[in-house]
């Protein structure tokens, strides 16, 4: 079977073929290892761990009819912020939703509820997403509907430990290592991120970042690292975007038809809690997102316009939709270029 023909198969069949291909490559490796090494860089190969993740997710989906919806009505649109509707690799001060995305999201919000679920804080994200009806900031530790804000109790209880960690992190901050403080709606710093994406000397910046994360891990707070990413977050307690989605769903009076879009492993819990999961692909997207469908970051506007034009009837045939196999191939190509 030629590799390009896999894009026409459904995700379950593709996952099975991936495993078969992997087994065959193991056999070949004992005979022609030098040729295999070339193939690994130029073709379809997935690491064994990734294949196992695909299988686990697909088994869950098979036992959950929501994960297998191929044609469903969207009653609400829930979105991540960074890397989904706004560029990822920009300074905090320059972060914004494009005018094209803003325009179509305003149109959508006039017909169905739109909500944002992000690890950013509410003071940052609310003013940048005025089209939304609800927000879950700090990964769900603060939720805002209208003028009502609910806060997780750990924001207050773990304040001392968080302050201690932040004080230590600031010792290493500078042009190559940016400390972004995250505040609650009252203006108190309750979390922070460490970011060295703009560093000139990334190795030196990473060494500093490792010292910070090692120190944070000695405290009763939560450090969230993102695979292969030059940044991490520190929160006073565990965050869960899936639980945040369910809380927003309840507060907005929704029952089903939730479409969630996100771009990182931190969105996996929300993907699993949603009725329809759409991953957003860019240069930093990992290959372990637990969703069936994907859209390139540059095509998000077109996808949303297509959803609007289709009267919120989601279909795998909507403009710009990629299926799992196509998405894996695209992500792999970007990693090798």
Helix extents (H) in the chain: 11-29, 33-42, 48-62, 99-109, 122-125, 154-157, 159-170, 202-216, 241-251, 268-273, 300-309, 324-336
Mean pLDDT of 313-334: 87
Radius of gyration of the chain (CA): 21
When pLDDT is cut at 50, 70 and 90, the band that residue 59 belongs to is low
- pLDDT tens-digit map of 176-205: 999 999 999 999 999 999 999 889 999 999
Give the tens place of pLDDT for each residue, 88-127: 888 888 999 999 999 999 999 999 999 999 999 999 999 9
Asked whether residue 20 falls in the same domain as residue 135, the answer is: no
Q: Coil, helix or strand for 111?
A: coil
User: Quick one: pLDDT at residue 53?
Assistant: 56
88 and 166 both lie in a single domain? no
Same domain, 326 and 289: yes
Residues 203-258 have pLDDT tens digits of: 999 999 999 999 999 999 999 998 778 999 999 999 999 999 999 999 999 999 99
- Same-domain status, 216 and 260: no
Q: What is the mean pLDDT of the chain?
A: 84
140 and 261 fall within a common domain = yes
Domain enclosing residue 7, as ranges: 3-63
Final residue of a structural domain among 63, 81, 97 = 63
Residues 139 and 94 in one domain: yes
Last residue of a domain, one of 15, 32, 63: 63
On whether both 59 and 123 belong to a single domain, the answer is: no
Query: Are both 145 and 252 inside the same structural domain?
Result: yes
- The tally of domains found in the chain comes to 3
Q: Does residue 138 sit in the same domain as residue 178?
A: no
Q: Is residue 149 helix, strand or coil?
A: strand
């Amino acid at each position: 079977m030629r590799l390009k023909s896999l894009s026409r198969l459904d995700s379950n069949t593709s996952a099975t073929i991936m495993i078969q291909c992997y087994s065959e490559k193991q056999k070949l490796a004992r005979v022609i290892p030098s040729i295999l090494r070339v193939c690994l860089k130029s073709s379809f190969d997935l690491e064994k761990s990734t294949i196992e993740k695909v299988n686990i997710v697909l088994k869950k989906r098979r036992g959950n009819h929501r994960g297998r919806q191929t044609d469903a009505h969207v009653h609400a649109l829930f979105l991540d912020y960074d890397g989904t509707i706004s560029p990822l690799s920009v300074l905090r001060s320059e972060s914004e939703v494009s005018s094209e995305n803003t325009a179509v999201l305003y149109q959508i919000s006039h017909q169905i509820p739109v909500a944002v679920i992000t690890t950013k804080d509410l003071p940052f994200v609310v003013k940048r997403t005025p089209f939304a009806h609800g927000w879950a900031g700090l990964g769900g530790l603060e939720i805002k509907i209208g003028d009502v804000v609910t806060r997780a109790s750990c924001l207050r209880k773990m304040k001392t430990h968080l302050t201690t960690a932040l004080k230590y992190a600031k010792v290493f901050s500078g042009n190559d290592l940016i400390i972004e403080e995250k505040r609650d709606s009252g203006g108190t710093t309750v979390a922070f991120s460490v970011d060295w994406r703009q560093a000139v000397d990334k190795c030196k910046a990473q060494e500093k970042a490792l010292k910070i994360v090692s120190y944070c891990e000695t405290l009763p707070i939560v450090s969230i690292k993102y695979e292969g990413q030059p940044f991490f977050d520190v929160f006073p307690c565990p965050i869960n975007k899936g639980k945040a989605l369910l809380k927003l769903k309840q507060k907005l009076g929704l029952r089903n038809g939730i479409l969630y879009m996100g771009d990182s492993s931190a969105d996996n819990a929300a993907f699993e809690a949603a009725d329809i999961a759409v991953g957003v692909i860019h240069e930093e997207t990992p290959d372990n997102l637990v969703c069936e469908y994907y859209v390139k970051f540059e095509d998000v506007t077109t996808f949303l316009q297509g959803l609007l034009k289709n009267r919120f009837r989601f279909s795998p045939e909507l403009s710009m939709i990629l299926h799992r196999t196509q998405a894996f191939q695209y992500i792999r190509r970007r990693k090798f270029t």
